[in-house]
Amino acid sequence: MSVIETNKLCKTFEGVVPVKAVDNVDLKIENDEFTAIVGPSGSGKTTLLNIIGGLDRPTSGSVKVNDIELNNLSDNELIKFRLKHIGFVFQSYNLIPVLTARENTEFVMLLQNTTVEERNERVDALLKEVGLEDKVNSRPLELSGGQQQRVAVARALASKPDFVLADEPTANLDSKSAENLLDIMLRLNKEEGITFVFSTHDQRVIDRARRVITLEDGKIISDITQNEN
């Protein structure tokens, strides 16, 4: 089953010289995939991820998530849709500085009006899953970069999304932290069937991915399925 499907997707940024960041992209992402979207800087990776995630709108073409056409949603409907269906992990972590690891993780569930009991149970389980059960009361500045990114992964999973979009999630991490984070996400993919789609330059992500999609000048130039990890 396709959880994400794009059809003739285009995004042009207007300027003195218009830039077509995404150019006629047809793409299907199936449930349970662990996929890396790769390419040089300026190839359109992040723009494509932002459109798939409903953070940006295409100039033309369509993107469907679970057969819901995102272009047909109003801005408010899109916010609610993202909240329920899509998890995000960003390069810069995007944690709220004054909140603890627990509070950052449960923030999305607060917006979803989840009960206190369910929030507590899920936060405890997620922070244990990412190896931070002893850091629940630590704020971001008290955590290493790798630990902050693991909180970001827990937060992305808290809403029980259909899939997780990770934009250069290892870019600010040292080698050991990056390896640990990728091992956690790969295990979550294998054991819990969570779909992950990465935008990345990192060879470690590419090596772990089971599918590697290469963009160049906004176009897909290759789409390769690799050996099972």
What percent of the chain is modeled with pLDDT above 70? 99
11: exposed, middle or buried (C-beta count within 10 Å: 0-12, 13-18, 19+)?
buried
The predicted model scores a pTM of 0.91
- Evaluate whether the domain defined by 2-225 bears CATH number 3.40.50.1110: no
Residue 61 has pLDDT above 90, yes or no: yes
pLDDT, tens digit (0-9, with 9 covering 90-100), for 19-47? 899 999 999 999 999 999 999 888 999 99
What percent of the chain is modeled with pLDDT above 90? 72
pLDDT, tens digit (0-9, with 9 covering 90-100), for 131-190? 999 999 999 999 999 999 999 999 999 888 989 999 999 888 888 888 988 999 998 899
| Local structure of 58: helix, strand or coil | coil
Strand partners, 88: 165
pLDDT given at position 42: 87
Q: Where are the beta strands (DSSP E) in the chain?
A: 2-13, 19-30, 34-38, 60-65, 68-69, 86-89, 163-167, 195-199, 211-216, 219-225
Q: List CB contacts of 29: < 8 A, sequence separation 6 or more.
A: 2, 3, 4, 5, 35, 163, 195, 197
The rounded mean pLDDT for the chain is 92
Residue 7 has pLDDT above 70, yes or no: yes
Q: Average the pLDDT over 203-211 and give the result.
A: 94
Residue 6 has pLDDT above 80, yes or no: yes
pLDDT given at position 90: 87
pLDDT given at position 19: 87
Residue 93 has pLDDT above 90, yes or no: no
Domain ranges of the chain: 2-225
Residue 229 has pLDDT above 60, yes or no: no
pLDDT given at position 228: 63
pLDDT given at position 2: 87
